[in-house]
């Protein structure tokens, strides 16, 4: 009895699958019929449009056609929308990257379908236009890598520190800065002039010349730290996020150009620390804000040939907060170095 019930269920299930398959077959047949009808109607409309365009061109410029019988007639609507090309033996219609060719023969017109690629002749004019635009647009010099040296001054023309803060004197040859400018935006006013902005990361190492380091004292004022005679080297290190806004002028020279750029620059402090290395190999790193200004602004400029640049930056904001610098003296940081930019 149970086996009879199971066989009956299987029979019902089989009948259901058959009905669904038959319905799907009818649906697919009906759908395909509609799609074919739409394709045929579309082809007729496009063909009629092409014939009208061709007729208008031949009517409007009949004399030129007689003198240039072997030259194809080409009509484009939009850069990538529709292109029509007609010659003595065929009519080619391209929509996007797909095309239809209508060939004339003794047996009558023949249709062929084709998918075009960027290497086909259809795209040659477009590629040439794109390359021309790429070469003709303004591209500034900011994105790239930079390496140089940094220091600070008590005024725009004086880098000699007072005797009472002699411990802030730097080893100029070992006080380095490294920059990674990772994004750039060029705003062209012309082919060879425009504004340049972007974002960069600015690392500064202030290597102290004496056998000392610095620390925050009372009320956050920076004072000298004397770790002892076994100290080998020490430094103050900072990391800033930089944002420039420069006006750049380019002068063509042979196949390259000279460039001059200058403008304001702003910076946001991301981190800071001091580091001491002792003669026995021991290292002590101390993280802190060290009363450094969180925001600073200044002027930056660069001059170069091609992608090689000489850059310089001077900050009008003191390195330390007002009233908290060593000896209550404002120290204004600056840097100078070489840059390799990537503006292509």
pTM over cut 0.75? no
In this prediction, residues 139-154 reach a mean pLDDT of: 96
Q: Is the pLDDT of residue 327 over 80?
A: yes
Residues 6+ apart with CB under 8 A from 78: none
- 8-state DSSP, 208: B
In this prediction, residues 111-119 reach a mean pLDDT of: 63
41-55, 151-165, 185-199: the lowest-pLDDT one:
41-55
Quote the pLDDT of residue 20. 42
Quote the pLDDT of residue 335. 97
**Which pair of structure tokens corresponds to residue 150?**
């940094």
Q: Output the CA torsion 103→104→110→111 (10° steps).
A: 30
Q: Is the pLDDT of residue 278 over 50?
A: yes
Which of 67-81, 156-170, 293-307 has the highest average model confidence (pLDDT)?
A: 293-307
Q: What is the pLDDT of residues 78-101, one digit of tens each?
A: 444 566 676 666 777 776 666 777
Q: Look over the chain and give the mean of its residue pLDDT values, rounded to a whole number.
A: 79
270 or 123, higher pLDDT: 270
Quote the pLDDT of residue 24. 45
204 within 8 A of 256, measured Cβ to Cβ = no
105 within 8 A of 117, measured Cβ to Cβ = no
Give 102's pLDDT tier (boundaries 50, 70, 90): confident
Q: What is the pLDDT of residues 279-288, one digit of tens each?
A: 998 999 999 9
Q: Is the pLDDT of residue 44 over 80?
A: no
Quote the pLDDT of residue 25. 43
108 or 114, higher pLDDT: 114
196 or 80, higher pLDDT: 196
Give 8's pLDDT tier (boundaries 50, 70, 90): very low
d(CA 196, CA 198): 7
75-84, 171-180, 262-271, 323-332: the lowest-pLDDT one:
75-84
The string of DSSP codes covering 69-117 is: TTSPEEEEETTTTEEEEE-SSEEEEEETTEEEEEE--TT--EEEEEE--
């Amino acid at each position: 009895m149970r086996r009879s019930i199971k066989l009956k269920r299987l029979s019902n299930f089989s009948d259901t699958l058959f009905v669904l398959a038959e319905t799907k077959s009818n649906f697919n047949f009906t759908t395909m019929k509609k799609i074919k009808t739409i394709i045929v109607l579309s082809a007729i409309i496009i063909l009629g449009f092409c014939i009208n365009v061709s007729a208008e061109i031949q009517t409007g410029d009949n004399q030129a056609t007689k003198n240039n019988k072997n030259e194809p007639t080409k009509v484009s609507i939009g850069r990538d929308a529709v292109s029509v090309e007609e010659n003595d033996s065929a009519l080619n219609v391209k929509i996007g990257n797909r095309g239809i060719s209508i060939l004339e023969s003794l047996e009558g017109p023949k249709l062929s379908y084709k998918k075009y690629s960027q290497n086909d002749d259809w795209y040659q004019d477009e590629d040439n236009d794109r390359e021309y635009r790429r070469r003709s647009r303004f591209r500034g010099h900011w994105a790239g890598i930079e390496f140089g040296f940094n220091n600070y001054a008590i005024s725009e023309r004086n880098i000699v520190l007072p005797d009472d803060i002699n411990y802030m004197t730097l080893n100029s040859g070992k006080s380095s800065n490294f920059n990674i400018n990772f994004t750039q935006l060029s705003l062209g006013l012309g082919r060879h002039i425009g504004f340049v902005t972007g974002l960069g990361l600015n690392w500064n190492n202030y290597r102290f010349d004496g056998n000392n380091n610095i620390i925050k004292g009372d009320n956050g004022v920076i004072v000298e730290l004397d770790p002892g005679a076994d100290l080998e080297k020490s430094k103050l290190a900072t990391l800033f996020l930089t944002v420039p806004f420069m006006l750049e002028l380019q002068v063509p020279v042979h196949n390259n150009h000279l460039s001059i750029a200058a403008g304001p620059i702003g910076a946001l402090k991301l981190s800071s620390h001091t580091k001491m290395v002792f003669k026995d190999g021991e290292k002590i790193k101390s993280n802190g804000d060290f009363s450094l200004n969180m925001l600073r602004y200044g002027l930056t400029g660069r001059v170069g040939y091609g992608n090689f640049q000489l850059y310089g930056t001077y900050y009008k904001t003191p390195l330390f907060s007002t009233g908290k610098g060593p000896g209550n003296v404002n120290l204004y940081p600056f840097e100078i170095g070489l840059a390799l930019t990537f503006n292509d």
